Structure 1
């Protein structure tokens, strides 16, 4: 199994919207990717919550049966279509993939 975790720190303002609005849109776009490719086991998106420690604004946690399944997700047209929005609103990105 491959775990794919990505975190984003968002710009204060981008694409004509504030950080909170862009965070909600980011979550909506990523949530819509749930189940788009075979071998995806889990896809969970969360936004930083007031009162809880967070150095990033959004996190994606996902699991795939294997590397081919992860690549199918990464190359899926729906996933590729959201990348320009994310690139425009993000200040920083961290990613880690690992096999268990």
Structure 2
């Protein structure tokens, strides 16, 4: 099993919208990718909650059967298509993959 965690910090304003609007759009785009790879076991997209400690604004917490399943997700045209938007609205990105 392979764990894939990605965290993003968003810009206050980008692509003609505020951070809250862009977070909701990014979450919806990512949520729509939950079933792209048949090897996906967990796919959770969460926006940081006000009042709780968080250093990043959005997180993807996912698990895949193996590296091939993660690659199937990462290379899927639907996933590739959302990258320009997220790239334009994010200030920073962190990623970590590891085997369980």
Is TM (by shorter chain) over 0.5? yes
1:37 Cα offset (Å): 1.3
Mapping of residues 57-96 of structure 1, within 5 Å: 57-96=57-96
Q: Using the alignment, how far apart are the partners of 2:94 and 2:34 within structure 1?
A: 20
Residue 40 of structure 2 corresponds to: 40
Q: Using the alignment, how far apart are the partners of 1:72 and 1:38 within structure 2?
A: 9
Listed as ranges, the gaps of 5+ residues in structure 1 are none
Q: Using the alignment, how far apart are the partners of 1:12 and 1:40 within structure 2?
A: 32
Residue 8 of structure 2 corresponds to: 8
Dislocated runs of 4+, deviation >3 Å: none
TM-score scaled by structure 1?
0.99
Listed as ranges, the gaps of 5+ residues in structure 2 are none
Query: SS in structure 1 opposite 2:44?
Result: strand
User: Aligned pair count?
Assistant: 100
1:38 Cα offset (Å): 1.5
Whether 1:98 aligns to 2:98 is yes
